[in-house]
Amino acid sequence: MDYFAQQLINGLVLGSIYGLIAIGYTMVYGIVGMINFAHGDIFMIGGFIALISFLILVSFGLTFVPVILLIVLLVSMAITALYGWTVERIAYRPLRHSFRLAPMLSAIGMSFVLMNYSQIAQGARVKPVPPIITGGYTLYEADGFVVRLSNVQIVVVVTTIVLLAIFTWLVAKTRLGRDMRACEQDQTMAALLGVDVDRTISMTFVIGAALAAVAGMMYLLYYGLVDFFMGFVAGIKAFTAAVLGGIGSLPGAMLGGLLIGLIETMWSAYFSVEYKDVAAFSILIIVLIFLPTGLLGRPEVEKV
Amino acid sequence: MTTPAPAATAAVAAKRGLGAAFIFKKALISALVALVLFSLMIGVRTEAGPEGQLIYWTRFGDLGAMVATVFFGSIAIELLRQWWGPIETVRVIPPRVTSSLALARRAIAPILLIFTFLVPVIFYDQRYILDLGILVLTYVMLGWGLNVVVGLAGLLDLGYVAFYAVGAYSYALLATNFDLSFWVCLPLAGILAAFWGVLLGFPVLRLRGDYLAIVTLAFGEIIRLVIINWQSLTGGPNGISGIPRPSLFGIPLSNTDDGLAALLGIEYSPTHRIVFLFYLILALALLTNWVTIRLRRLPIGRAWEALREDEVACRALGINTTTTKLTAFATGAMFGGFAGAFFATRQGFISPESFTFQESALVLAIVVLGGMGSQLGVALAALAMIGGFELFRGLDQYRMLVFGVAMVLLMIWRPRGLIGHRAPTVFLEHSQTISSDLVKEGR
């Protein structure tokens, strides 16, 4: 039971990271109807930028951890958001009225570009960082087994919750959120009613990339390393999360992320670590067979 | 011709001036964006220091060079765009050029085929060119195999490399464990790969487009991960080595008394085997091509094309989409399996590293570049792609970057492929009175 509780905590933390990435997939799919294949690599870029800005801040002599974290968070969100905007502007916008598979293929190309760009720019080796947030609480102790909740885990979960709250408010209450929901339903009609569709789509990518940057930073804090290849597998898992929760649904993405995180952690804990990725990918296939609309998704009506 | 009125000249000049200001402004914005994008990623380089601690140093020179490149590149692109005019501009080609182009287009396939047959004769002494030729033909075959799934049936498959891997491992395991010859294993590898194709086909029958792509990608990764982790069977990351070489129907191509060279009474040379492998893959590729061309004329091939054009209409016309999709998957997978078996016997060693997602993307890029459905286009695209990769061999780490950029640019510039087109084999001579575009709802 203690072991299970510990795995539950670990799974929820991992799931928060997946959920943050999954929101980017689900938002873009909702509005443009394409899978942003490069989103996993945007997450990776976010991790790198967090790492570099962290190093610079430390070498400037800053030692107060909350300030460092806040600056790193803002810097990586801003720069990664610009990456998201640029990717959309270069690779997706010219293809909006092309045939269906074109944006997907362009996105695959973009994913290669980002992956190899960071490999060339920052080297192929894994970049480790010393633990930035240390310490934690012991929740329960019995028979020599300890259930621990570390401060990093608290930071990850709290940040995720705060960002989700801001994000939900943004979509539900602001002008931008209303524009986004309008574009999701009918782009032509939204344009006729004075919604700047291009700008709204750009903003969707920007917000998605900013959330992915947060996920990248949390990944860095939690695992203490980044490398240029981490976006690929994390991207597929986050996409699985988005599909599991019902693609196009924002709470669904978060729910799916938590479930995938839990499943992966439990699988590693009770079955085999080697096959944890196989488990995650199999879930994608199984969900799509038996529950194509996901847990909270709406069925897609096909019009002829 | 009258000279233009002064006012018009002034307007043109003003427009030109405005254009220059516009170009400059755009380039400046691009450069600013680039500055922010590259500031940390290129301006700062991190690496693990001597004690394992991360250290960093700055590279402002590189950063400045990159930003300047973006600035001037943006100006160059904008000037090119103004010179070319709007994208839809139709260039009038003189009829003589058109007719000679048509002639060239008809002649290119036979010429290419004859040349390919003669390659081992012309370049007999150049091992490098023969090896490169074998590599190109392998990708031509993979491209033609995937073309059945993507080009003809319109099902985006991002996990094609899985079937390539199944074929390679089938041959390697059968040959090393049961001493079966290449010619027995080749059909077995094809059948096994086709079986896996059907196995993948069943769950994804209901999926379309993007979902299908992701599921096939996941499938490819699952196969790779299982190969890596099932060490007792596949040797894990170490792969399988000592895979037997193919024989010419039982006659080994070796320097022994019962070898081919001894039987023919000629001097043995290792090049014999290379030439044999070259003709073997050429024959396999041509088989793929021939089967595909024949299938296109059968009802099943017509059904694939119909499925690609419109799945709903297909179902309405009573075409069984289930069997249509499954046969497309199985056929494509079978050719992938053949190619995999060939790959294993050529290399003599296989490991999971050869079957990554990059490989799938490369084959897919070949099919897309070739124009999705055009056999000649795919062959030329494979030649261009693999040849291009060889040209960039010196710049090893930039290879995939260039590949990604090329893929994006290709989609923007020529989404239907550089060469060839994907028009259906049969179509109505006259257009319908009411186009389906006009009656589409919800667009």
- Please, where are the H alpha helices in B392-426? 399-413
Domains of chain B: 15-84 (no CATH), 111-413 (1.10.3470)
Q: Residue type at B67?
A: V
In a domain, A303, yes or no: no
pLDDT of residue B435: 47
How far does Cα B305 stand from its chain's mean position? 20
Give the whole-angstrom CA distance, residue A21 versus residue A7: 21
Give the whole-angstrom CA distance, residue A278 versus residue A156: 26
How far does Cα A294 stand from its chain's mean position? 18
Give the whole-angstrom CA distance, residue A64 versus residue B114: 73
pLDDT of residue B165: 93
How far does Cα A21 stand from its chain's mean position? 1
In a domain, A1, yes or no: no
**Which residues are B251's β-sheet partners?**
B248
Please count the structural domains in chain A: 1
Closest Cα partner for B166 from B122, B140, B198, B127? Answer: B198
Other C-beta atoms within 10 Å of B69: how many? Answer: 12
Determine whether the interchain pair A120/B398 forms a contact, defined as Cβ–Cβ distance below 8 Å.
Answer: yes
Other C-beta atoms within 10 Å of B436: how many? Answer: 10
Partners of residue B410 in chain A, C-beta under 8 Å = 109
Among chain B residues, CA nearest to A78: B36
DSSP-derived secondary structure letter, A92: I
Among chain A residues, CA nearest to B366: A105
β-strands A225-226, B44-48 pairing: unpaired
DSSP per-residue letters across B111-164: HHHHHHHHHHHHTTT-HHHHHHHHHHHHHHHHHHHHHIIIIIS----S-HHHHH
Collapse the DSSP code of A57 into the 3-class scheme (helix H, G, I; strand E, B; otherwise coil) and give the result. helix
In a domain, A304, yes or no: no
Rounded to a whole number of angstroms, the distance from the CA of A237 to the nearest CA of chain B is: 10
CA atoms in the 13 A half-sphere facing the CB of B20: 5
Contacts of A146 (CB under 8 A, 6+ apart): A2, A138, A140
Structure tokens at B123: 């370049």
Give the whole-angstrom CA distance, residue A103 versus residue A207: 19
Q: Distances in Å between the alpha carbon of B266 and those of A6, B31, B252, B262?
A: 73, 66, 14, 6
pTM: 0.86
pLDDT of residue B89: 54
Which candidate in A105, A244, A291 is best for mutational testing of the B interface (most B CBs within 10 A)?
Answer: A105
DSSP per-residue letters across B235-262: -GGG-EE-PPPP-BTTB--SSSTTSHHH
Residues of chain B short of pLDDT 70, as ranges, are 1-18, 85-93, 208-209, 250-251, 253-263, 265, 417-443
Determine whether the interchain pair A236/B221 forms a contact, defined as Cβ–Cβ distance below 8 Å.
Answer: yes
Do B340 and B145 contact (CB within 8 A), yes or no?
no
In a domain, A265, yes or no: no
pLDDT of residue A304: 52
Do A187 and A169 contact (CB within 8 A), yes or no?
no
How far does Cα A201 stand from its chain's mean position? 18
Structure tokens at A266: 């439990």
Closest CB to B403 among A112, A275, A304: A112
Q: Distances in Å between the alpha carbon of B160 and those of B114, B308, B358?
A: 29, 18, 11
Give the whole-angstrom CA distance, residue B330 versus residue B197: 5
In a domain, A295, yes or no: no
The burial class, CB within 10 Å (0-12 / 13-18 / 19+), for A5 is middle
Its ipTM equals 0.85
**Which residues are B55's β-sheet partners?**
B47
In a domain, A120, yes or no: yes
Closest CB to B368 among A105, A289, A302: A105
In a domain, A132, yes or no: yes
Closest Cα partner for B189 from B16, B397, B40, B333? Answer: B333
Give the whole-angstrom CA distance, residue B269 versus residue B120: 14
For residue B123, which phi and psi values (nearest 5 degrees)? Answer: -105, 35
Rounded to a whole number of angstroms, the distance from the CA of B40 to the nearest CA of chain A is: 7
Print the domain residue range for A174.
Answer: 10-229
DSSP-derived secondary structure letter, B441: -
Give the whole-angstrom CA distance, residue B417 versus residue B370: 5
Give the whole-angstrom CA distance, residue B200 versus residue B146: 15
Place of tokens 């574009």: A183
A and B: number of Cβ contacts within 8 A? 181
Closest CB to A110 among B41, B158, B404: B404
Do B381 and B343 contact (CB within 8 A), yes or no?
no
Q: Distances in Å between the alpha carbon of A215 and those of A109, A164, A207, A230, B235?
A: 23, 12, 12, 12, 36
Give the whole-angstrom CA distance, residue B229 versus residue B212: 26
Rounded to a whole number of angstroms, the distance from the CA of B128 to the nearest CA of chain A is: 28
DSSP-derived secondary structure letter, A227: -
Give the whole-angstrom CA distance, residue B167 versus residue A183: 46
List the pLDDT tens digit at each of the 304 positions of chain A: 678 888 899 899 999 999 999 999 888 888 888 888 899 999 999 999 999 998 888 888 877 888 889 999 999 999 999 999 999 999 998 888 777 778 888 998 999 999 999 988 888 888 888 887 777 787 777 776 778 888 889 999 999 999 989 988 998 899 999 999 898 888 889 999 989 999 999 999 999 999 999 999 999 999 888 888 889 889 989 988 988 888 888 888 999 999 999 999 998 888 888 888 888 888 888 887 788 777 887 766 555 5
Give the whole-angstrom CA distance, residue A182 versus residue A137: 45
In a domain, A247, yes or no: no
Among chain B residues, CA nearest to A34: B210
- How many separate helices (H) and strands (E) can be counted in chain B? 16, 4
